[in-house]
Amino acid sequence: MAPPLYKDFGKAANDLLTKDFPSGHKVQLESKASNGVTFVTSVSSGKDGKIDGTFEDKYRYDPRGVNFTGKFDVGKQQFTTEVSVDSLLDGLKLTVNGEADLEKIKGSFEYGADKFNVTGAFQQKDLNASAVFSYEKFLFGGALKYTFDGGNLNWGAGLSYKGEDFNGTFRLEDEGQKASANYNHKVNDDFDVAVQLDVTLQSMSPELSLASAYKFDSDSTAKAKLDTEGKFGISYKQKLNSHVTLTLGSKIDLNGLNAAGHSHGFQLNINA
């Protein structure tokens, strides 16, 4: 079995720290037609009150292992498409995506086999590559980004450990100028915790974030997070029925409880 991609190092902790904390308002409707085409429509508004929306359609042609995706962003007046193929070779995925005006076209590949994977992507003047190798419960990975305009080379490297109920990750990014470490601990079937430490090595300025999630039952979950900048977040996610899920969230600046820097939001997901 192929290991996770390098971009997914520390994903369990990162998801716990960032997902399901809505600060704006969003309604998303997803439906699937009888011919297999999936439609996803969303309408959202942020703190500035500006209303935006997107429309996305997805289709997979199984006989050839081809995935088609098209997305229109109302606010940006932008249409993007993506085509990927994963049937040419076991473990290989090729993807091409770009905007309607063809100015930004990106080609990429992912190849995974037992105990290793490699990725590569090319877009205009940037070339990206990554590789991950696994040994027992450890993952070793790295990434490179080369910019042809100026000949700049940026690199990152990471080490990850996956236990039965515990994941830990350490990464160096931006040519070793930034370091981060996180862990995710599944205390029991209902309770998870995560901690992340980010350090800019030149100034030695650390930032610490911690989060927890508690599952009341199969339909409801509460989350909370806090960081050393005094930002506190809380959310509650409830599955109302088999088609509708509602998430409520608040982000509070503890440094200015009487100021206007707080935000409250919700996300309503409807799966028809």
* Side chain identity at residue 179, one-letter code: A
SS3 46: coil
Q: Is the pLDDT of residue 101 over 70?
A: no
Q: Give the C-alpha separation, 195 to 153, whole Å.
A: 30
Span 5-20, pLDDT tens digits = 999 999 999 999 999 9
Q: Is the pLDDT of residue 121 over 80?
A: yes
Span 173-186, pLDDT tens digits = 998 899 999 999 99
Q: Is the pLDDT of residue 167 over 70?
A: yes
Span 56-81, pLDDT tens digits = 999 999 988 999 999 999 988 888 99
Span 190-200, pLDDT tens digits = 999 999 999 99
Q: Is the pLDDT of residue 102 over 90?
A: no
| Residue 270 pLDDT class (50, 70, 90 cuts) | very high
Q: H helices then E strands: how many in the chain?
A: 1, 19
Q: Give the C-alpha separation, 54 to 70, whole Å.
A: 11
CB 17 within 8 A of CB 225: yes
Q: What is the pLDDT of residue 262?
A: 86
Q: Give the C-alpha separation, 168 to 188, whole Å.
A: 17
Q: What is the pLDDT of residue 203?
A: 83
Q: Is the pLDDT of residue 100 over 90?
A: no
Mode of pairing for the β-strands spanning 244-253 and 138-147: unpaired
Phi and psi at residue 15, to the nearest 5°: -65, -40
Is the full-model pTM beyond 0.85? yes
Q: Is the pLDDT of residue 231 over 90?
A: yes
Q: How far is CA 110 from CA 84, 105, 166, 234, in A?
A: 11, 17, 27, 36
User: Where are any strands of DSSP class E within 36-163?
Assistant: 38-45, 51-61, 66-73, 78-85, 92-99, 105-113, 116-123, 126-135, 138-147, 152-162
Q: Please provide the average confidence, as pLDDT, over all residues in the chain.
A: 93
| Residue 218 pLDDT class (50, 70, 90 cuts) | very high
| Residue 258 pLDDT class (50, 70, 90 cuts) | confident
Q: Is the pLDDT of residue 103 over 80?
A: no
